[in-house]
Every structure is written in structure tokens, then in C-alpha cells.
Chain A
Amino acid sequence: MYGWIWRHLPGNTWVKALISLVLALTVVFILFQYVFPWAEPLLPFNDVTVDQGMAAVR
């Protein structure tokens, strides 16, 4: 997978390394900005109230 990407990047080794770094940073940015904020509410750390989903009851 990574070998395939490396082989398909243009330029010499230095250009490939630079493009790889940019790609990796882009992936990390997308994860922190969009993917993790979406996944985080699926974990229990947000449940700090005693009436979640019970607002309609009272």
C-alpha cells in the first residue's frame, strides 16, 4: 500500500519525501478537524448530566 503510493509519487527521492510529508500532515489535519470530532461523542466522556435524553420528561 505505502510502497504503491511511493512508486506513484513523481520526482526524485527528496521530492517524494516532501510530498509524503505533506500528505501525512493533510491526513492528520483531516482526522483532527473532521473525523475525531465526529467519533468523539460515541465515547462516554460527554455523559456528565443526569437528564440526557430526558428533557421531554420534565
Chain B
Amino acid sequence: MTQRGGTTVRRIVRTLSEICVTAGALIVLFVVYLLFWTGVRADSAMDGEIGRLQDRWSTGPVTAPARPPAPGGRTAPAARPRAYPPGASFAVMYIPRLGADWAKPVLEGTAPDVLKRGLGHYDRTAHLGQLGNFSVAGHRRTYGDPFKDFPRLRPGDAVVLTDGTTWFTYRIDNRPYTTLPGDIGVIDPVPPKSGFHGPGRYLTLTTCEPEWGHSHRLIAWAHLDSTQPAARGRPSALSS
């Protein structure tokens, strides 16, 4: 082999190895971003949402402003609440089973950018505490891992929510149920496979299954067990 040929081979080998090292570093950085950085960003975003909610609840009146009378003189039914503003937080969820300090904001909508800042309320489902199925989705992994320990939920576990005026205590009714991504029946007002019969005040939690995959979804159903005004302090489910 000539001197020049050796130089060319050396240059090719060197460039190839440099590309490999660069690709490896890129992958390591991406893993760091996914496992660490999205969590840092999501935790600060969720803390910010909860702080904003608590500021709003402690300063302003939290009751919904009076609705203008409906045209035609008919009064709107009182049970029909105001729509939650899209992309904004309106409640805080506590699940003692997932940790004594586990508290996440619930935002309106389930778009990916909403789920980066907290749990997402399916906007077509019932409102908090109302007749129907209040359905919430959350990340299992990345973005703060809010539902990392979802499979540990058991019947009887409390899911406590507050909207600033009322504490709602839901109780889980089933072990986490695995289903397919297109099974939108699970967030129906009366989900067919939940074991609920007839209309009621239900709650559905959804996340991905398996932990790092997207082939299935994990579902938990709960029913409204009790409510109490925020003025009477935190419900007993949170202090035990």
C-alpha cells in the first residue's frame, strides 16, 4: 500500500469513528433529556400551576360568576356548569396511594402540550363532581412521571380533587384495567366494562401501558364517595 493510500484509509476510518461517537453522544443526551430534563420542566410547570390555582382560590371569589339569563326567558339549568377554559388548570388531584405528597394540577384538554403541564381532563366528559364520567389522562413516564405507580392502585383507594370550593373524594372500584388505545368506551358516562350500572358520578383515569410503550392503555374507574366544602378543611382521606 502506498503512503497516500494509507492516509486515505486512515482518514475514512477516523471520520467513521467520529460519526459513531457523535451519534452515541446524541443518543445519550436524548435519554438524559427524556428521563431527566422533561421531569425537571414538568415539575416546575406543575408546581407553577398549583401555585397559581392556590393564589386564585385564596384571593378572588371562586364561585362561578352569575350567568347571564338565557335568551327567551328560560333559566339555564343550575346543574349545567360553566365550561372549563381550555388549557388552563381548574383543580388539584391528590392520590395518597401514589405518595403522601402526590399532588398534580388538572388542566382542561388532553393535547400533548397540556399534558406536559399536568393531568388532562377529557373536555367532552363530565365536570368535576357532576353526573357522568369525569375522565383524566396523565403521563406514565417522562414529564414528571405522574402516573408511574398507576398499577399500584387498588379498590377503595381515594382519589381526592378540589376545585377551590369543594373537596371531592372518589374511591377506586377496580384494579387497573388494560385495554386498547381505541377503546373510547372507557370514558363513556357509564363505561360498559367498569361494573357500574346506571348513571352516577364517576371518575376515569387513563395512562399508557406498558410503562415505556403505547400499545395499550391502563384504566382505573372510581365513583364519588363524598364531598365537603373547602372551608371545612381537607377530607379525612388525605389525613389518614
Contacts and interface: CB of A to CB of B under 8 A. Distances in A.
Interface of A: 1-3, 28, 31-32, 36, 39-41, 43-52, 54-55, 57-58
A32 B183 CA distance: 34
The 4 closest A-B pairs by CB, nearest first: A44-B214, A47-B214, A49-B137, A45-B142
7 contacts: A31-B33, A39-B30, A46-B115, A49-B122, A50-B186, A51-B184, A55-B124
Contacts of A1: 15, 18-19
Residues of B contacting A: mostly: mixed
Contact of B122 (A41, A46, A51): A51
A52 B19 CA distance: 37
B110 A49 contact: yes
B212 A52 contact: no
B138 interface: yes
Contacts of B115: 46, 48
Contacts of A57: 184
Given A48-B217, A55-B124, 8 more contacts: A28-B29, A43-B34, A44-B212, A45-B139, A45-B212, A46-B115, A49-B110, A49-B137
A48 B29 contact: no
A48 B187 contact: no
A50 to B, nearest CB: 5
B214 A58 contact: no
Given A31-B29, A36-B30, A40-B38, A48 B137 contact: yes
Contacts of A31: 26, 29-30, 33
Given A36-B33, A40-B38, A54-B184, A49 B120 contact: yes
